[in-house]
Amino acid sequence: MQAEFLVAEQRADGNYLCVQGNWTLDNFSALEKLLSRYKKQALPGQHNLDTSKLGMLDTVGASKLIQLLGHENVCQLLQADSMLAAEKKALIQTVAQALELTKPDMQKEKAGVFGRFFGQIGYSIAAVWQQFISLLGFAGLTLEALFRILLQPRQWRFTSVVAQVQTSGLNAVPIVMLLTFMVGAVIAFLGATVLADFGASVYTVHLVAFSNLREFAILLTAILMAGRTASAFTAQLGSMKVNEEIDALKASGLNPVYLLVIPRVLALLVSLPILTFLGMISGILGGMAVCALSLDISPVMFMDIISENVPVRHFWIGLVKAPIFAFVIAVVGCHEGFNVDGSAQSVGEHTTSSVVQSIFLVILLDALAALFFMEMGW
């Protein structure tokens, strides 16, 4: 027996285990030896606990005592032992509860490769579903607040909306026009190269017009706004969440959705259609430049072909998707900003998530819209 820590005594009223000495971190090695010894040698049978000679006790000593005696035995012995100080008894009980909570994880069997693989798939599907439900709820809350605020002109915040239009719309004009111009030029290059084999180089004009008006202008603009504006919304609201500014607004009786979400949604609803229109013009100008340089199609002839052969409905088909994409991008950005849990790492994670979700939803909705318009014959 380790006389300085644990002694088994036989008394007139029964068998006793006398716990004595300092069960602290300083005696960790000796306590480990005692514990390893009794893993091979069972403790005496029916016994009572005597803690009258117990010195100092910390969490390390309490955990070793619980591991030595067992959780159930410790609980029973603590109830029967009235000589143990209240603070030591509370410490042992707290450590015992903590060990009991972690016990299932410690004893959890390791899953196989296939179990982990399919488990991860199930976890991912459940997380995506919960995220989708949360996003739908936030979108409904935003629509409800939007309809309410339209009927209350006193709560309109023109200054916030104009500031957000400048940030998310006006400042994005150069990058949107540059990107769509280059994409329009690339489409014209590809069209001129491929169609030249069939002697149909003149149809490069049709390709540039159709692709820019229906798809590329709105899609590229929306993807740029998803990466630029949705991330900005998430970072702004996430920083406010970390600094507890949103909680301060709620404590002041103000609605954060009215103050923070609605101006951003309205600003993007105004900005994205305008940016899409500019992207259409810029993309057509890019195709026009390539046609003039490579195919000897003059700008006047280019515009005549478009006006005669490209119906105006293609312009409206591209433009009608802009408000829908704008609402989705703004809602996703604000939703992720409100989900930040109070750390800088969380801000980064939710900013990344907002960009990924926005781009995915924009491409998904664009594909669904393309199928719908095709089936409708538009």
- Alpha-carbon span 62 to 88, nearest angstrom: 9
Nearest Cα neighbor of 374 from 215, 217, 184 is: 215
In the chain, the amino acid numbered 362 is V
Written as six digits, the tokens of 149 are: 């605020």
Alpha-carbon span 8 to 278, nearest angstrom: 89
Q: What does the domain layout of the chain look like in residue ranges?
A: 6-106, 143-376
Return the pLDDT at 106: 46
Given this model, what pLDDT does residue 286 score?
92
Contact partners, residue 146, CB within 8 Å, separation at least 6: 262, 265, 266
| Per-residue pLDDT at 4 | 62
Q: How far are the Cα atoms of 57, 61, 114 from residue 104, in angstroms, in the given order?
A: 26, 22, 22
Both tokens of residue 250?
Answer: 């709620």
The sign of the torsion formed by the CA atoms of 66, 69, 75, 78 equals negative
Length of the chain in terms of residues written: 378
- Confidence (pLDDT) at 61: 77
Prediction pTM value: 0.68
pLDDT at 371 over 70: yes
pLDDT computed for residue 79 by the predictor: 67
3-state secondary structure 139-173: HHHHHHHHHHHHCCHHHCCHHHHHHHHHHHCHHHH
Quick check: 1 pLDDT over 50? no
Q: Residue 62 — very low, low, confident or very high, per pLDDT cuts 50/70/90?
A: confident
Question: How buried is residue 311: exposed, middle or buried, by Cβ count under 10 Å (0-12/13-18/19+)?
Answer: exposed
Residue 109's pLDDT is 55
Return the axis-axis angle of helices 299-309 and 262-294, rounded to nearest 10°.
120
Proportion of the chain above pLDDT 70, given as a percent: 86
Distance CA 307, CA 319 (A): 18
Q: How far apart are CA 259 and CA 246, in angstroms?
A: 10
Task: Tokens 């009258």: give the residue.
Answer: 52
Distances (CA, A) of 367 to 173, 257, 311, 361, 362: 25, 30, 21, 10, 9
Would you say 273 and 319 are in contact if contact means Cβ atoms under 8 Å apart? yes
* Helix runs in 212-312, H state only: 217-225, 231-242, 245-251, 256, 262-294, 299-309
* Encoded tokens for 160: 């916030």
Phi, psi (rounded to 5 degrees) for 111: -75, 155
